[in-house]
Structure 1
Amino acid sequence: MELDELLATMPFAVKSGIELVSATPGEVVGRLAWSEDLTTADHIMHGGALTTLADSVGAVSAFLNIPSGAARVTTASNAVYARQVRRGIVTAAARPLHVGRKTILVSIDLTDDDGRLVSQVTQSHAVVGDSGF
């Protein structure tokens, strides 16, 4: 599946301005540019925008690791925020930590233009359908 096709399966991610840079079962990279529309007080990028980026690349990572005929659903997501973003582009890199028959665990690192950690997110996904529950 092409990057644009993967992203199109998530209309909210498209509407939010997320871009997929690359996507393989081993790593999914996406990015989101700072804009005034995505900020909270003092022009800081909203945590919800950062979470949307992390959730989107995490979902693609899990999707690329499920068996044929199965689906996946996020069951938990935990974010830790390390710094504020006031400009530039946030890049998210999602990597599977565990790919099992019924669960997938994904780690997502969000970094700023200077490569500094903005947020670290860990997600669990349930595999559902033919090969899962």
Structure 2
Amino acid sequence: MTDVEGTALFHKTMPFTERLGIEVLENTAGLVRSRIAWDETLCTLGGALHGGALMSLADATGAVCAFLNLPEGGQGTTTIESKTNFLRAVRSGHATATAKPLHAGRKVIVVETEIHDDAGKLVAKVTQTQAVL
């Protein structure tokens, strides 16, 4: 079920997510879930959802997770490192990203995001480091 408020917040703070059609499913400090629908305009010639679209999904989801884990006095975050391992293609349905904080410090926040397909198979794993602003 789509989190309408969370989706609106994603789109307001990161307009690119609206263009990609990202929907938020869950939006808490401990877990942020969002998804992107397979669409031929977001694919490679082989019909697989483009890695850049998947990375954008993971980056946005991880960024919100980091923001929700800001320390007292933190104003925001910015990605300073992101590592993606692609494991399989998405050729239909949705790609769903689930982000969890690994470390929420005063200067950096590390988030791990997994992307799964509709069958629950792991598509990509992303580790992201966010600087606290």
What TM-score comes out, normalization by structure 2 length?
Answer: 0.92
- Cα deviation, residue 6, structure 1: 2.0
Determine helix, strand or coil for the equivalent of 1:42.
coil
> Within 2, Cα distance between the matches of 1:46 and 1:56?
16
Determine helix, strand or coil for the equivalent of 1:61.
helix
- The runs of 5 or more residues in structure 2 that have no matched partner are none
> Within 2, Cα distance between the matches of 1:68 and 1:37?
41
Determine helix, strand or coil for the equivalent of 1:123.
strand
Task: Give yes or no for contact 2:7–2:22 (8 Å, CA) kept in 1.
Answer: no
Task: Give yes or no for contact 1:6–1:60 (8 Å, CA) kept in 2.
Answer: no
- Cα deviation, residue 4, structure 1: 3.3
RMSD: 1.0
**Alignment correspondent of 2:23:** 19
Paired residue for 1:121, among 118, 121, 126? 126
- Cα deviation, residue 42, structure 1: 1.2
- Cα deviation, residue 68, structure 1: 4.8
Question: Does residue 73 of structure 1 match 2:67?
Answer: no
> Which runs of at least 4 in structure 1 moved beyond 6 Å after TM superposition?
none
**Alignment correspondent of 2:39:** 35
> Within 2, Cα distance between the matches of 1:12 and 1:68?
28
> Within 2, Cα distance between the matches of 1:95 and 1:88?
23
- Cα deviation, residue 124, structure 1: 0.1
Structure 1 residues 59-68 or 88-97, which shifts more?
A: 59-68
> Within 1, Cα distance between the matches of 2:16 and 2:114?
20
Determine helix, strand or coil for the equivalent of 2:125.
strand
Question: Does residue 89 of structure 1 match 2:86?
Answer: no
Paired residue for 2:61, among 54, 57, 64? 57
- The runs of 5 or more residues in structure 1 that have no matched partner are 129-133
Give percent identity, aligned residues only.
49
> Within 1, Cα distance between the matches of 2:56 and 2:29?
20
State the aligned residue count.
127
1:41-67, Cα deviation, whole Å (9 max, x unpaired): 211110000001000100000010113
Task: Give yes or no for contact 1:31–1:89 (8 Å, CA) kept in 2.
Answer: yes
Query: Normalized per residue, which structure has more strand?
Result: 1
- Cα deviation, residue 91, structure 1: 0.5
What TM-score comes out, normalization by structure 1 length?
Answer: 0.92
